[in-house]
Amino acid sequence: MHLLFVGDVVGRSGRKVVTKELPGLRERMNADLVILNGENSAGGFGITEDICQEFLDAGADVITTGNHVWDQREALVFIERQERMLRPLNYPEGTPGRGAGIFKAANGADVLVINPMGRVFMTDLECPFRGVEKELEACGLGEGADAIVIDFHAEATSEKQAMGHFVDGRVSLVVGTHTHVPTADDQILPGGTAYMSDAGMCGDFDSVLGMDKEEPIHRFMTRISSCRFEPAKGEATLCGVAVEVDDRSGLATAISPVRIGGRLRPVEPDFRAG
């Protein structure tokens, strides 16, 4: 089984590279399931129902989010009817939407996708580790799920690495989102779980985390806000990670970063079709 995860989509340039490149990428790598983090896709802050549908039409199967999930207030409503969009798992009980779900892959496999959010330098939500443990107890590898992917939306690499080791051997992939910079630590952990601290963003890298450079620099220098952040509008790079999963065990056999277009050095997985 081949899984593709696409990192945080930032603004219009990020959406443009996704709609342009994702259909062909999915075909080239014979991806059975595509997961995409869309929490920065609406002007850099949140996601709308129309944009969510745009990603699904482009070939995404599941949309994950993070701390900006509610920045577009309509998300509080449409998430209840959009079964393929997740919000962070560890929001309090009663929050609209859900933080995990089982999704049918193209090869017929059942894939559990879990979307916890970290607490270090982030909003103090419920414990992501205990939340993930609860999901795995309810639906483990070979016990309801043929593969399991965790999008850990977190700031600190230490917290992300801890999550990877916490679930090693029990999930197919742990991939970090939120920091928008692709990391070079893609690996398969000792127990067979694929891991990458951050998938990076789909956005213009001639920027500060996908935003036009001037306002962030101004705020760093003066500690004063002069205007709102606006997404950079240059050519974007599609960033993500691809994983090959053993159909019998649900554990990873190969992992590769993905980078297409824009300013970063291009990388595509060379997994053989199967």
Which residues are catalytic, by number?
Answer: 68
d(CA 33, CA 103): 9
Torsion sign, CA atoms 224, 227, 233, 237: positive
61 touches 33 (CB < 8 A): yes
Which residues are registered as beta bridge partners of 147?
111
Alpha carbon 96 to its chain centroid, in Å, reads 20
Structure tokens of 181?
A: 């910079």
Instruction: Give the ranges where the chain is alpha helix by DSSP (H).
Output: 11-28, 49-58, 75-78, 128-138, 157-166, 214-222
Which residues are registered as beta bridge partners of 141?
145
Structure tokens of 104?
A: 């049918």
Structure tokens of 165?
A: 């080791």
Q: What are the C-alpha distances in Å from 81 to residues 14, 52, 94, 251?
A: 25, 12, 15, 32
Q: What secondary structure letter does DSSP report for 265? A: P
Structure tokens of 76?
A: 């509080």
Q: What are the C-alpha distances in Å from 176 to residues 89, 95, 138, 180, 197?
A: 14, 23, 23, 9, 5
